[in-house]
Amino acid sequence: YKISLQGEVIGHYEAQNWIWGTPVEHDGTLYIADLSGYVHAVNPETMEAIWSSKVAERGIRPSPVVTDEYVVVASRDGKVYWLYRGDGTLAFDREVEGRPEILSDIVFIPMNEEQRILQDMIIVGTKNLSHLAVAYDMEGRQLWAFGR
Helix/strand/coil for 115: helix
Q: Are 105 and 62 in contact (CB under 8 A)?
A: yes
Binning the chain into helix, strand and coil, the percentages to the nearest 5 are 5, 45, 50
Distance CA 88, CA 85 (A): 6
The fraction of the chain above a pLDDT of 70, given in percent, is 100
pLDDT for the residue numbered 37: 98
pLDDT band at residue 93, thresholds of 50, 70 and 90? very high
Name the helix (H) or strand (E) containing 43: strand 38-43
Q: What is the pLDDT of residue 22?
A: 95
Candidates 2.40.128.630, 3.10.310.70, 3.30.70.3040, 3.40.50.1000; CATH matching 2-146? 2.40.128.630
Mean per-residue pLDDT of the chain: 96
Instruction: Check residue 63 and give its pLDDT.
Output: 97
Per the DSSP assignment, residues forming a β-bridge with 52 are 40
Per-residue pLDDT tens digits for 10-38: 999 999 999 999 999 999 999 999 999 99
- Structural domain spans, the chain: 2-146
